Amino acid sequence: MRVLGDEYVKSEFRAHKDVENPLHIVGFLKEWQMYAQQVEGDSWSGDRLEKEKIDKMSDQQLGQLYELMQAIQKKGREDPDGET
């Protein structure tokens, strides 16, 4: 799963490198910092997204979230033991 996550993180940072709105930049970095802290300690396992965060997502973000979910499910079917 780490390979999938690393690829996703790289693409997200590339997609947001030209954002100029300071509020978007701060929000983006804050969320990624929290994500990194959770992943580092495996405390994310079994977590769910808060409804408030989902409600604030744009259609594009929801689409990306859905694509990520599909990629994770596909990876799980291809590698049921979780080995990378």
- Name residue, tokens 């599909």: 70
- Looking at per-residue pLDDT, the higher value among 71 and 84 belongs to 71
Residue 82's CB is within 10 A of a number of other CB atoms, namely 8
pLDDT tens per residue across span 31-60: 878 777 776 766 666 667 889 988 988 998
Q: What is the pLDDT of residue 55?
A: 92
32: Cα within 13 Å, side-chain hemisphere: 15
On whether the CB atoms of residues 1 and 78 are closer than 8 A, the answer is no
Fill in the amino acid letter for 7.
Answer: E
Euclidean distance between CA atoms 64 and 20, whole angstroms? 21
Which tokens belong to 34? 């929290």
- Looking at per-residue pLDDT, the higher value among 84 and 56 belongs to 56
pLDDT tens per residue across span 8-32: 778 878 887 888 888 888 888 888 7
